[in-house]
């Protein structure tokens, strides 16, 4: 199911939302991640808030990225194939636009990777998601990204490396995820991967 894997990190990601001058956006992010964890009402509310925020400030790449992610999440809720396709394309375009505007923004790059990773294969987005995870993990060790998100990036990077039979690289990525945020969902999932390899 679309976004089913993203739910694995959603609960941990709730902790990444820090209080900023734009507390309304922080609350919207919280609702979005709650929606990713399966709370339909929160997802719908977050999407509505993001539409308003994007209308008020269409040049904000963070808002644009979260709206793109919300559109992809909305695609998982609809059953009409054409509407689902439209939402996926719109969401992907918003995420790509946000990255184009702020290519060095770690949170935006992670959000695009996590949002695109579980799209069906015919969208041809898996390679882009994997590249985003790799890009984030090359830069996320310095504390510039919330530990829970950084751990999730390393967890996903481990999955992609394992998929490409880079077992040593996968092991290292999962080990880093555990070190960064051992109590997070991603850290715990990475620990399970490591334990399974030792059996």
The string of pLDDT tens digits covering residues 99-116 is: 999 999 999 999 999 999
Contacts of 182 (CB under 8 A, 6+ apart): 188, 191
Task: Judge whether 187 and 175 are in contact, CB under 8 Å.
Answer: no
% of the chain at pLDDT higher than 90: 72
All residues at 6 or more sequence positions from 76 whose CB lies less than 8 Å from its CB, including other chains: 1, 2, 3
Nearest to 36 by CA among 9, 54, 63: 9
For 38: left if phi > 0, alpha if psi spans -120 to 50, otherwise beta; the answer is left
Token pair for residue 10? 């959603």
Q: Which fold has domain 7-198?
A: 1.25.40
Q: How many Cα atoms are found within 13 Å in the side-chain-facing hemisphere of 29? A: 21
Q: How many angstroms separate the CA atoms of 96 and 37, rounded? A: 23
Structure confidence at residue 1 (pLDDT): 47
Q: Are 24 and 46 in contact (CB under 8 A)?
A: no
Give the per-residue pLDDT at 133: 95
- 66: tokens are 């979260």
What pLDDT, on a 0 to 100 scale, did the predictor assign at position 37? Answer: 81
Instruction: Classify the C-alpha dihedral 93-95-96-101 as positive or negative.
Output: positive
Q: How far apart are the C-alpha atoms of 45 and 73, rounded to whole Å?
A: 12
Burial class from Cβ neighbours inside 10 Å (0-12, 13-18, 19+) for residue 127 reads exposed
Q: State the residue for tokens 């996590």.
A: 114
Tens of pLDDT along 160-182? 999 999 999 999 999 999 999 99
Sequence spans of domains, the chain: 7-198
Tokens of 90: 């719109």
Round to the nearest angstrom and report the end-to-end CA distance of the chain. Answer: 29
What pLDDT sits at residue 154?
96
Q: List the one residue out of 67, 18, 64, 15 whose CA is nearest residue 46.
A: 67
Going by the DSSP 8-state scheme, the letter that residue 183 receives in this structure is T
Point out the residues of the chain with pLDDT beneath 50: 1, 8-22
């Amino acid at each position: 199911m679309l976004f089913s894997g993203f739910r694995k990190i959603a609960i941990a990601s709730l902790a990444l939302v820090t209080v900023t001058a734009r507390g309304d956006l922080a609350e919207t992010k919280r609702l979005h991640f709650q929606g990713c964890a399966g709370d339909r009402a929160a997802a719908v509310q977050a999407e509505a808030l993001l539409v308003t925020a994007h209308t008020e400030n269409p040049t904000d790449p963070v808002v644009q990225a979260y709206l793109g992610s919300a559109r992809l999440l909305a695609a998982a809720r609809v059953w009409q194939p054409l509407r689902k396709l439209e939402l996926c394309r719109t969401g992907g375009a918003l995420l790509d636009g946000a990255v184009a505007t702020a290519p060095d923004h770690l949170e935006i790059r992670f959000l695009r990777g996590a949002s695109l990773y579980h799209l069906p294969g015919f969208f041809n987005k898996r390679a882009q998601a994997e590249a985003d995870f790799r890009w984030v993990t090359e830069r996320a060790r310095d504390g510039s990204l919330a530990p829970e998100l950084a751990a999730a990036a390393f967890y996903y990077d481990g999955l992609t490396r394992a998929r490409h039979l880079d077992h040593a690289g996968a092991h290292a990525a999962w080990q880093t995820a555990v070190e960064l945020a051992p109590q997070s969902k991603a850290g715990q999932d990475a620990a399970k991967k490591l334990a399974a390899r030792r059996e």
